[in-house]
Structure 1
């Protein structure tokens, strides 16, 4: 009979290399998958992994997709460190995007007395509205967990579908473009209410710079502040945290509000950035993919940037595999799932060892 035992403490250093091992294994098995689909593995992997890096334009698109992934992962990392399992970043992103879009439309429709307000101020208000919308949506999970001890995994996940239905109602009702030929969408925002681009000729906007600053700020919060230390201790050693007088209720609300706020900011940047209006679909699943990003980054705010780049590469590679190789759109999700599975396997093999029990 086999028994799992913890490895020595030195294996914890190797745990930081686990995402690299997982990525290499994902590439290897991805090549086998392409071979099974009748494609040349080397050619297919080149299209999937290298074509998105071929020039400045595609790299800018890579960084553009990295922005919402990392923002959502920053908040999820805080939650998971506090042992709060928020799975609803996608719904919080949608809520934030909806709130930001409604704010921009309020000023973009020629509201009397609002014509002299600058586009920069409107974008700031829209971003704050997105943060507030995402945090408010996450607060529902916090309230039900706090008041009724409801499982935050189920609640946050189910709220995602409610957010999607609310978005559909908005684009078919109060936010619908009256001149949009009955399509379920809002009017296209005026150019002054869109996030300015960093480079001329690319879609990469200043939200990317905000994301980098947020990653640095969250690193300071987690590793250099007492509040971050309190959240981490509450997740790793609940009994020790309770003995020290740390409030688990405060940790619950703090982590979920931070997570929802970052996801809402990601939604605001999507609506005011590459989308430029409110559509029935704001996100292709960034909130769910951010779960993988957070664990690839080892729940480290700086590490999530690496994870965001990897998942963004999968998104772009999947799009190119569809157009150039004729593969289905599910290839992106398949690679994401393989990466998560390989990461869990590598973590298990690094942190544990099998021993024959007599």
Structure 2
């Protein structure tokens, strides 16, 4: 018996946008079954992870804050992925953005003024871009796969962070804890809703996504990205440089990852600590595909993933679910999304092997 995939006609947009919803629902069902089989309250886990953050108004602010960096990073990744440029190192670029902003904060800790925060944001964007230069250079000059180089640089960034917060940037008044000094009020993002933790980074994330949608759908830059990703030979014939597009895609995704790092460092963290890498860069890969690489879809996908993250934290305290549970749900969500993509775009064909057919 031979099983092969046969490409369908172009699937409808409705089907493409319904499959992420189906992937989330199947994840919830399978997650409930899996955790029940290993001895946990599976139905309770699904309830706490997927429903409690939505039904509890006190958790809405957490959803906004958690989704903001995911949206920003995922938008940058989606631009590269549309051009077939596979940046897997957004986590390292996120860390470098936070480190660059922290460096500016430490240099200006005895100063004041509204210019400090914009300078930190600029430094963070530059830091993320700088960390994306290496895979861009190696890909365009030496044809080195950017998946490997961007991913390996993530671990370099984390070690650099540990060195700085344990060594030269360590707070002398921090009672021996590996952390920097707290940022001043001029170095922190202002809260936009009184008596909540919702900071300026949340509307910035929405603006970034909408701006990306505009440029991808209404500009030559967006058209170039799509053409290079879909048909590189046609792009060359049309005068578009593939190498230039690779540079643009990687630098854009690095810049947005660095921006997310600034917003986290100057927002929820308020300083640099070893726990700053929170896997936002890796989780944003799921968000990008869950949102169909569309900036507006990524907004909703970021909120959906934030629900899983916040719900996972709730489930850890209410039903004693393991910390790894959130990662399991995220992995299943990506798996079912990719599986649904295959079933939407291809159909399974069953038939006899060529040898049997020939013998007949």
**TM-score after normalising by structure 1:** 0.95
* Aligned counterparts of 2:57 and 2:187: Cα–Cα separation in 1: 26
* Aligned counterparts of 1:350 and 1:12: Cα–Cα separation in 2: 11
| Contact kept? 1:77, 1:294, Cα under 8 Å | yes
| Contact kept? 1:57, 1:202, Cα under 8 Å | no
Of 175, 185, 193 in structure 2, the residue corresponding to residue 199 of structure 1 is: 193
* Aligned counterparts of 1:239 and 1:257: Cα–Cα separation in 2: 23
* Aligned equivalent of 2:137: 143
| Contact kept? 2:189, 2:267, Cα under 8 Å | yes
Unaligned runs of 5+ in 2: 353-360
| Contact kept? 1:321, 1:327, Cα under 8 Å | yes
Query: By how many angstroms is 1:129 displaced?
Result: 0.6
* Aligned counterparts of 2:85 and 2:294: Cα–Cα separation in 1: 16
Task: Give secondary structure in 1 for the equivalent of 2:347.
Answer: strand
Change (3 A) 1:356 1:36: closer
* Aligned equivalent of 1:48: 49
| Contact kept? 2:183, 2:270, Cα under 8 Å | yes
Query: By how many angstroms is 1:44 displaced?
Result: 2.4
| C-alpha RMSD of matched pairs (Å) | 1.3
Task: Give secondary structure in 2 for the equivalent of 1:5.
Answer: strand
Query: By how many angstroms is 1:322 displaced?
Result: 1.1
> Could you give the per-residue CA deviations for residues 32-55 of structure 1, whole angstroms, max 9, x where no partner exists?
022113333332222111222233
* Aligned counterparts of 2:49 and 2:76: Cα–Cα separation in 1: 29
Of 149, 154, 158 in structure 2, the residue corresponding to residue 155 of structure 1 is: 149
Task: Give secondary structure in 2 for the equivalent of 1:306.
Answer: helix
> Could you give the per-residue CA deviations for residues 238-287 of structure 1, whole angstroms, max 9, x where no partner exists?
11111112101110100000000000000000000000001112131000
Instruction: Tell me, yes or no, if structure 1 residue 346 matches structure 2 residue 340.
Output: yes
* Aligned equivalent of 1:227: 221
* Aligned counterparts of 1:221 and 1:3: Cα–Cα separation in 2: 39
Query: By how many angstroms is 1:340 displaced?
Result: 0.4
The 5-angstrom pairing of residues 1-358 of structure 1 reads: 1-108=2-109, 110=110, 115=111, 117-118=112-113, 120-357=114-351
* Aligned counterparts of 1:4 and 1:40: Cα–Cα separation in 2: 38
**TM-score after normalising by structure 2:** 0.95
* Aligned counterparts of 1:55 and 1:326: Cα–Cα separation in 2: 19
* Aligned counterparts of 1:35 and 1:357: Cα–Cα separation in 2: 38
Query: By how many angstroms is 1:320 displaced?
Result: 1.2
| Equivalences, count | 351
* Aligned counterparts of 2:13 and 2:108: Cα–Cα separation in 1: 52
Query: By how many angstroms is 1:357 displaced?
Result: 4.3
* Aligned counterparts of 2:277 and 2:195: Cα–Cα separation in 1: 23
Query: By how many angstroms is 1:325 displaced?
Result: 1.1
Query: By how many angstroms is 1:191 displaced?
Result: 2.5
* Aligned counterparts of 2:207 and 2:221: Cα–Cα separation in 1: 19
> Could you give the per-residue CA deviations for residues 273-310 of structure 1, whole angstroms, max 9, x where no partner exists?
00000111213100000000000010001111111111
| Contact kept? 1:72, 1:262, Cα under 8 Å | yes
| Contact kept? 1:11, 1:351, Cα under 8 Å | no
> Could you give the per-residue CA deviations for residues 133-188 of structure 1, whole angstroms, max 9, x where no partner exists?
00110111101112211110000000000000110111112211111122111011
